[in-house]
Structure 1
């Protein structure tokens, strides 16, 4: 396997950002929403 060129690395990084970051953020938001719900039900 030959070393990656700079442009290829950059393209892979951009692709990773576009595909993975939104998924990670969505997952975090879901978890936070779930925590808020459990706090609400426990506090009530």
Structure 2
């Protein structure tokens, strides 16, 4: 079984702004899921 790569807690992630734009605004479900992922893992984006 292959494990999925995971961003370690307290890391800094650099993403292209087009990724955020494609997720829509804060009312969008994908955006909210991303925000929750970042918050749960204490990531800096």
**What TM-score results when the alignment is normalised by the length of structure 2?**
0.35
More helix, by proportion: 1
> Highest CA radius of gyration, 1 or 2?
1
**What TM-score results when the alignment is normalised by the length of structure 1?**
0.36
